[in-house]
Amino acid sequence: MNVIECKNLQKEFEGDGTTTVAVNNVNLSFHKGEFTAVIGTSGSGKSTLLSLIGTLDKPSKGKITYDNEEILKKGKNKIADFRFQEIGFIFQQFHLLPTLTALENVLTPLFSRKVPYDKVERAKEVLKQVGLLDKMNALPSQLSGGQQQRVAIARAIVHKPSWLLADEPTGNLDTETGAKIYDLLKELNEQVGCGVLFVTHDPVLAAKANRIITMKDGNVLSDKVGATI
Ligand SMILES: Nc1ncnc2c1ncn2[C@@H]1O[C@H](COP(=O)(O)OP(=O)(O)OP(=O)(O)O)[C@@H](O)[C@H]1O
């Protein structure tokens, strides 16, 4: 997938007689291989924007096109297939299954999917990529926070998505471990060519991205070229 376009994108939440406009008339394009940081105060709409782009939620108004195709107009199964083919997610809470080993956790997206490669070999390959092949038989409880996030990253890339959507992936990690996770995402972006959309509260990490989008109250406040271009 080469281009994601958000056109007049709007997401509203109703509750207690009030309406919250989480994403307000956002127009943005993302191009293949970009590494973009999204920053903004708490409640500014960053996670909502990521969920919409990741097809986890539907907009109230406006649309998102993926290479000019409006995927959200399709049925549930088609949307799930699209997500499997194109998108990997990483979250602040690693969301690993506690009773599965690192290797088994990485394999979970491939369960019940037909793929043209050996699943276990592929899972080992990505664990090696994130530097954790020696921990493949460990349970999440036997891993540090940084290592658990590496497993989560391996799981996010095992199905070879063209985009990685990361919602505060360093939020639960100390500064040094967070910087290493950031570097790993940058490395994957450069080596595998995955586009990365990276939500963070950390201005130091955001400043290292190719592009920095700042959100406020659901609006895009600024969209700037980052330091590394
Ligand atoms: N499911 C929901 N129901 C009702 N309101 C919601 C829901 N999800 C988000 N909101 C509201 O939408 C706004 C944007 O929330 P969002 O989580 O996208 O912000 P954020 O920038 O990611 O915040 P944070 O940095 O704290 O994670 C907030 O006012 C939030 O309360």
Instruction: Give the tens place of pLDDT for each residue, 60-110.
Output: 999 999 999 999 999 999 999 999 999 999 999 999 999 999 999 999 999
Ligand 1 is surrounded, with C-beta below 6 A, by 13, 15, 20, 22, 40, 42-48
Measured in angstroms, how far is the CA atom of residue 54 from the centroid of ligand 1?
16
Q: What confidence tens digit (pLDDT) does each residue in 99-125 have? A: 999 999 999 999 989 999 999 999 999
- The residue among 220, 223, 222 whose CA lies nearest residue 210 is 223
pLDDT at 206: 92
Helices (H), the chain: 46-53, 76-86, 102-107, 119-129, 145-157, 175-192, 203-206
Question: Is 3-61+73-225 a CATH 3.40.50.300 domain?
Answer: yes
Distance CA 151, CA 78 (A): 27
Residue nearest to atom 11 of ligand 1 (CA): 22
* H or E stretch at 61: strand 61-66
Residue 193, sorted as left (phi over 0), alpha (psi -120 to 50) or beta, turns out to be: left
User: What is the predicted pLDDT for the residue at 15?
Assistant: 87
The closest of 99, 90, 179, 93 to 126, measured between CA atoms, is: 90
The CA 51 to ligand 1 mean position distance, Å, reads 11
Give the Å distance between the CA of 23 and the centre of ligand 1: 9
Tokens of 116: 């043209």
ipTM above 0.90, yes or no: yes
User: How close is the Cα of 142 to the center of ligand 1, in Å?
Assistant: 32
Residue by residue, what is the 3-state secondary structure of 101-126? CHHHHHHHHHCCCCCCCCHHHHHHHH
- Is there a contact between 146 and 179 (Cβ–Cβ < 8 Å)? no
Q: Is the Cβ–Cβ distance between 41 and 216 less than 8 Å? A: yes
Residue pLDDT, tens place only, 17-66:
899 999 999 999 999 999 999 999 999 999 999 999 999 999 999 999 99
Tens-place pLDDT, residues 154-202: 999 999 999 999 999 999 889 999 999 999 999 999 998 999 999 998 8
Nearest residue (CA) to ligand 1, atom 7: 13
Residue type, 183: D
Q: What is the pTM of this model?
A: 0.94
Closest CA to ligand 1's atom 29:
43
Tell the residue nearest (CA) to atom 28 of ligand 1: 43
Q: Which atom of ligand 1 is nearest to the CA of 14?
A: 4
Distance, CA of 159 to CA of 145 (rounded, Å): 23
Beta bridge partners of 212: 37, 224
- Mapped onto helix, strand or coil, the DSSP state of residue 203 is helix
Q: How far is the CA of 47 from the centre of ligand 1 (A)?
A: 7
Q: Classify residue 213 by its DSSP letter.
A: E
What's residue 98's pLDDT?
97
Give distance in angstroms: CA of 50 to centre of ligand 1: 11
Ligand 1: distance of its center to the CA of 72 in Å?
21
Residue of 44, 167, 220 with the most ligand 1 atoms within 8 Å of its CB, for mutation: 44
Looking at 95-104, 132-141, 201-210, which range is the least confident one?
Answer: 201-210
Position in ligand 1 atom list of the atom nearest CA 201? 25
As given in the structure block, the two tokens for residue 108 are 């979970």
Examine the pLDDT at 228 and tell me if it is beyond 90: no
- Please give the Cα distance from 107 to 78 (Å, whole number): 21
* pLDDT value at residue 120: 97
